[in-house]
Amino acid sequence: MSEQLFLIAHIAGRGVAIDSAQVESVVDIGHVTPTPRVARHIRGLAALRSRVVTVIDTHAALGLPPIGIAGSRAVITVIDGHHYAVLVDSLEDVAPFEAAPLPSGIALDAAWRRAGCGEIERDGEPILAIDLTALVQGPGEAVTLN
């Protein structure tokens, strides 16, 4: 299997790898306009140059308590023509890795199961590869809309 470029980031204290094909850019998000009555993992809307992006609270998307005020670093991804800013704790770097399926027997817990799509290995350390589409979709029915 050939190597792909992955962006290594930290979400909820864990290292994750994001396929660079899903990443349009990496930005700092400024003021976020709240979107009342929308699913909990949608933080709101932010302006990115002349474009409006939907900001995803990654913690909430994983079913964890929402991020709070901190956390303005975000990965921009485009899904079905809409731009999303997926908030991350921090970003490391971009490097080529070989993607592999999750080893058999490892069952991710509920929060990560939807997002996890494989693993990569960096200097012997396994890192979970995640699919941003799953984060954008949020935790699904598990969380009731407020």
From candidates 63, 71, 136, 139, binder to other proteins by CB under 8 A: 136
**Smallest gap, in angstroms, from Cβ of residue 10 to other proteins?**
24
138 touches other proteins (CB under 8 A): yes
Q: Going along 41-89, which residue ranges are E strands?
A: 42-48, 51-56, 73-79, 82-87
Tokens, residue 84: 């999303």
80 touches other proteins (CB under 8 A): yes
Subset of residues 38 to 57 that bind other proteins, contact rule: CB under 8 A: 38-39, 41-42, 44-47, 49-52, 54
37 touches other proteins (CB under 8 A): yes
The CB-based long-range contact list for 64-68 (8 Å cut-off, 24+ gap) reads 64/12, 64/111, 66/40, 67/43
Q: How far apart are alpha carbons 115 and 134 in whole angstroms?
A: 5
Binding residues for other proteins, per CB under 8 A? 31, 33-39, 41-42, 44-47, 49-52, 54, 80, 82, 84, 136-138, 145-146
